[in-house]
Each structure stands twice: as structure tokens, then as C-alpha cells.
Amino acid sequence: MDFRRDAVMRAVFNEQKKQFTPGQEQKCYLDYLLEEGKSLTEKQVQMLVWETVIETSGTTVVTMEWATYELAKDPIRQERLFQEIRKVCGTMKLREDMLNRIPSLTAVFHETLRKHNPVAVVPLRYITINLYGCNMDNKKWENPDQWLPERFLDKKYDPMDLHKTMAFGGGKRVCAGALQASFIGCPAIGRFVQEFEWSLNDGEEDNVDTVSPLSNCTHFKS
Ligand code: HEM
């Protein structure tokens, strides 16, 4: 693992260093670290960037996995989503700018975030917020244990609102990458549905642990 991480990060660094001139406008976090973090070792800079990559891609990828799992379990909703995507995209590949015309897709994304919140708890200085509890509260959500994307098609929700649930936290420390997560997650889920018909092996529906903190792995058959 250490060897692979080192190889990937070296490649990223070398590529970015080619474009980076000290004193010029900083375009990304790595530019900032190269310019300002002169007292840091290369390994420390590497780990800071690596941590960011893991934290931000892990959450988004896990959401895409759970969405695909739920769709694989639910052929009717999967077909409905496929048809809606087809109506908007025709034979074209789904793109980011088409998302606002496919409300069912953003509904799938948000319902997956609600039910399979990748960040279950947000630790604060004095209190800890149980985001999982907020998203499963039966006083706020009807049948919270069920995966029902249509709940977000209700007129009371703005389809493009990123904070329908507590999945991205809130207030001053709200997730800085919520928009990016949505612009990566929604098109990815849509493209999975455009290209494949998803299903689970017989009897596999209940074979996934959706509660344990180590349950980020789902396995599909397409
Ligand atoms: C589905 C995907 C994601 C989920 C569920 C998620 C969730 C969260 C949550 C719950 C927090 C803590 C908010 C708080 O402390 O109140 C957070 C913070 C943060 N997220 Fe995300 N995140 C996701 C994807 C991303 C992506 C793709 C990026 C970057 C491109 C990102 C960047 C950040 C940053 C920088 C913070 C720290 C904000 C701060 O402390 O000021 N996140 N995220």
C-alpha cells in the first residue's frame, strides 16, 4: 500500500510541479503546499494531499456503490430511472449539464445519502452530531428504513438543493465539496444505469451489512 501510494503521489507531484512556478497564482491545494509549506518534508506534503484524496473520493464512491446496490435490488425504480435518462439524453452520454432535467437521478443520490450516509457522525468541539440519527429520524422522515427516492420529488424540495438531508453536515463547517460530490456522483450513477442493467445474485439482497462501520464494500453482478 505504502509503495503504491508513493508511486501515485510522486506522479501527481511531478505533473503538478511542471505547471507550477513559485510566486505565480496558486491553482490548487498542492500549489499552496509547495509554495507555503517549505518547512514540510516531501513525505508530509504527500500525506496531506493523500488524506484529502482519500477522504473526498471515499465518501463519493461509497455513495455511488450504495445507489447502485439499491437500484440493483429495485428493478422497477431502476427501469423508471433508465427511461427518464433516455428521455433527456437520447443516445448521448449523460452529462453534468443535463442533471437539472433528470430529477429522479438527483433524488436517487440524495435518498442514498440519507439512508447510507457515508459520514455517520460529525465530531465537534463540545458535542457530537449523529448525522445517521438525523437522517433516520421517524418524526421527520416517513418510513426512514426504506429507500424511497420519490420522497425528494415532492414539490417542497428544490431538486438542486444539496442540503435536503444532514449528509453534508451544516453551518460553518458544512462540507466544502458538496457540489463537487453531487456533480461526480449523479452523472456516475446515471452512466451506470445508462450502460448496464444491474441485478443481484439470488438471495444476495439481505447479504449486505448496511449498519457496521466497516460495511463500505458492496458487491454487484451486472
Ligand atoms: C458524498 C460525498 C461527501 C459527503 C457525504 C461529505 C460529507 C462531509 C461532512 C459530513 C463533513 C463535515 C461537516 C461538518 O463538520 O459539519 C464534510 C467536510 C468536508 N468535506 Fe465533504 N463530503 C463528501 C464529499 C466531499 C468532496 C468530494 C470534497 C472535496 C472535493 C469534500 C470536501 C470537504 C471539506 C474540505 C470538508 C471540511 C470543511 C470544513 O471543515 O470547513 N467533501 N464533508
CB atoms within 10 A of CB 141: 17
- Decide if 117 contacts 125 (C-beta within 8 A): no
Find the 52 Cα to ligand 1 centroid distance in Å: 10
Distances (CA, A) of 135 to 22, 121, 150: 46, 11, 16
User: What interface predicted TM-score (ipTM) does this complex get?
Assistant: 0.97
- Pick the residue whose CA is nearest to atom 29 on ligand 1: 177
d(CA 71, CA 195): 14
**CATH fold label, 55-195:** Cytochrome p450 (1.10.630)
Q: Among the ranges 124-128, 156-160, 183-187, which has the highest mean pLDDT value?
A: 183-187
Q: Greater confidence, 148 or 34?
A: 148
Per-residue b or e along 78-98, where b marks 16 or more CB atoms closer than 10 Å to that residue's CB:
beebbebbeeebeeeebeeeb
Which residues, judged by CB distance below 6 Å to any ligand atom, belong to the binding site of ligand 1?
Answer: 56, 59-60, 63, 113, 118-119, 122, 167-169, 173-177, 180-181, 185
Ligand 1 atom at minimal distance to the Cα of residue 129 = 16
pLDDT tens digits for range 45-84: 888 988 888 888 889 999 999 999 999 999 999 999 999 9
d(CA 167, CA 60): 11
CB atoms within 10 A of CB 185: 24
Q: Enumerate the domain spans of the chain.
A: 1-39, 55-195
Angle at alpha carbon of residue 174, lines to 172 and 175, rounded to 5°: 145
Ligand 1 atom at minimal distance to the Cα of residue 182 = 1
The answer to whether residue 216 scores a pLDDT higher than 50 is no
Find the 178 Cα to ligand 1 centroid distance in Å: 7
**219 pLDDT band (50/70/90 cuts)?**
very low
The answer to whether residue 194 scores a pLDDT higher than 80 is yes
- Decide if 192 contacts 64 (C-beta within 8 A): yes
What mean pLDDT comes out for the span 2-13? 87
**12 pLDDT band (50/70/90 cuts)?**
confident
Of the candidate ranges 123-127, 184-188, 215-219, the one whose mean pLDDT is the lowest: 215-219
